[in-house]
Chain A
Amino acid sequence: MRLAGTTMHTSLSPHDLARARLRLLQMHFEAGVGHIGGNLSALDLLMVVHHELMRPGDAFVLSKGHSAGALYVTLWTLGRLDDEALKTFHRDDTLLAAHPPPAGLADVLFATGSLGHGLPLSCGLALSRKLRGEAGRVWCLMSDGEWNEGSNWEALIFARQQGLANLTAIVDLNGLQGFGTTAEVADLRPLATKLRDFGWEVEEVDGHDAAAVAAAGRREGAAPRAILATTTKGRGVSFMQDRMEWHYLPLTADLYEQAVREVRAASDVPSAMAG
């Protein structure tokens, strides 16, 4: 079982994204677990960050720890985890728990899962680079629901005050949270305005447009940056899209087959796609 190796940077194609999406569906189906909706919404963003944006010296923090499955699959696409490792997802005696573990995976800097932790941690990593005069950037993937947490607003203030221009937060705006839509639960629209008022540079993109996300990520500015990426929870699977229950439900065999058919049809991935 491979848990660490050499990071490879490749250019992403729609085929690559679909291959990752299929692997994510397979992993969740085999494990018989839910949380798949928020993994599908975040997957494209994770793929872009890890394949297109991160460079040696950079760091990544998954603040929306419930998308750990999408992170594991992204690491699989990089050759950092193998199929044998993914088979242990959610099983007894695994490192690949539903939320990232505190130790054992070289690519996971922090155990997350309780929301509102990733941005302060990322501020620490970014401040470290600034104090040492190092060039690396820090990437933090956040959910939209976690903006309910006050610690994020503390971190917004801190990052601006400390001039952490090397920090980029990518927000997965899938519009759904635990027990309602983000508009119903805690309406922060327009989030972009609020973040700009805190002194951050903000770009809004289609979170499933890999080229747009990559372009926004490559831009650097004079202040901490936020990329607000509008996504679809359950992206690519018609019966999951924007349905809150897919924050929680596991897949039946029939629905799994349907999901695979849909992703393949949309991306023209041959049925012989393998790990």
Chain B
Amino acid sequence: MRNAFCAAMVAVAERPEVVFLTGDLGFMALEPLRDALGRRFINAGVAEQNMVGVAAGLARAGWRPWAYSIAPFIYARPYEQLRNDVAMHALPVTLVGNGGGYGYGVMGATHHALEDYGAVLALGGIRVLVPAFDSDVAGAVASILGQARPAYLRLGLDGAPKDFERPPFAPWRRLVAGEAATILVCGPLAGGLLGAIRDLPRERRPSLWLVSELPYGELPEAFLADVAATPHLVVVEEHVATGGVGERLARDLLLRGVAPRRFTHRHALGYPSGRYGSQAFHRRECGLDPAAILAALG
């Protein structure tokens, strides 16, 4: 998704208010953006607290700053700058975290972001965008620029089958209709699930919903209809349970008086075995791989 992000940013580089800061990352990826932005592309060095403070200062002066790093480095290291300098002032700074969830795989635990959007959402007033497909990224960038508010963009790896016709970016999308269950997924996990379920017969196939913006606002009526019509609601996210989509959805359904007959929440569990590996390895350890999720449908 990093290349798609670079292309999306190059496409908006002519907007004079766009300025881009990187925490010394982007080698072999962001060079086209550097060339497109010229002086408005700034390598701020390995210093994320300063970078986010600088971004807030730029935003206060009317710019639309983007600050980029590996996901944990862009939200956790400068968390107080995000809280005090950006969120408290509602400044339109966008943090871009590459490799959300277990995206950095065997790079290890320090490079994973398992609690990023929950921590960011807790501050209030920050939009979180989680594209699922490469084709989502341009739409997410446009959506961010369309509102003068703080935002966090969580990038991952598009895992959908190559022949899948990806729908245009939207906060809520139903990717597949089915009767066996309702699955709500956040982020690129949708791609692998899609490949596993799309050819199932309708009675064995779940409805697959994708949420790509948090907080997600009003629950769509069509989603609530699927929840009512199917025997099992499953929430899947590459994020810890605390502060995640599953917690939020359970609360919202309770507030509406909606009780799914059965509710399953599949989420990041940290490092159950104490061993490290690829993103796929960590997903399997947490029961986030498509086979485990299909098995959970029962």
Contact = CB atoms under 8 A, between A and B. Distances in A.
A180 to B, nearest CB: 24
A166 interface: no
Contacts, number: 95
Interface in B51-78: 51-63, 65
B198 to A, nearest CB: 47
A12 interface: no
B58 A120 contact: no
A131 B54 contact: no
A119 B47 CA distance: 13
Highest count of chain A CB atoms <10 Å: which of B45, B57, B60, B80? B57
Given A117-B81, A117-B84, A162-B42, A128 B62 contact: yes
Given A150-B49, A158-B45, A162-B42, A122 B57 contact: yes
Contacts of B65: 124
Given A123-B57, A124-B61, A125-B57, A111 B89 contact: yes
Interface residues of B, number: 29
A114 B42 contact: no
B54 A110 contact: no
Interface in A116-151: 116-117, 119-129, 131, 150-151
Given A102-B89, A111-B88, A120-B81, A128 B50 contact: no
B162 interface: no
Contacts of B47: 154, 157-158
Contacts of A162: 42
A114 B53 CA distance: 13
A262 to B, nearest CB: 37
Contacts of B42: 127, 162
Nearest to A102: B88
B84 A114 contact: yes
B57 to A, nearest CB: 2
Given A125-B61, A131-B40, A158 B84 contact: no
A123 B52 CA distance: 11
B85 interface: yes
Interface residues of A, number: 30
Given A111-B84, A114-B84, A121-B85, A158 B50 contact: yes
B54 A123 contact: yes
Contacts of A120: 49-54, 56-57, 81, 85
Interface string A88-116: 00000000000000110000011110101
A275 to B, nearest CB: 30
A154 B78 CA distance: 12
Q: Interface of chain A, helix or strand or loop or mixed?
A: helix
Given A151-B49, A158-B44, A162-B42, A127 B89 contact: no
A110 B85 contact: yes
Highest count of chain B CB atoms <10 Å: which of A102, A103, A121? A121
B42 to A, nearest CB: 7
B15 interface: no
Given A102-B89, A110-B85, A158-B44, A124 B49 contact: no
Contacts of B39: 131
A121 B49 contact: no
Contacts of A193: none
B189 to A, nearest CB: 35
A161 interface: yes
Interface of B: 19, 39-40, 42, 44-45, 47, 49-63, 65, 80-81, 84-85, 88-89
Given A116-B49, A120-B51, A157-B47, 4 more contacts: A59-B61, A111-B88, A128-B58, A157-B50
- Sorted from nearest, which 8 A-B pairs have the closest CB atoms? A124-B57, A120-B53, A154-B50, A128-B61, A154-B47, A124-B54, A151-B49, A102-B88
9 contacts: A117-B81, A121-B54, A121-B85, A124-B53, A124-B57, A128-B57, A131-B39, A151-B50, A158-B51
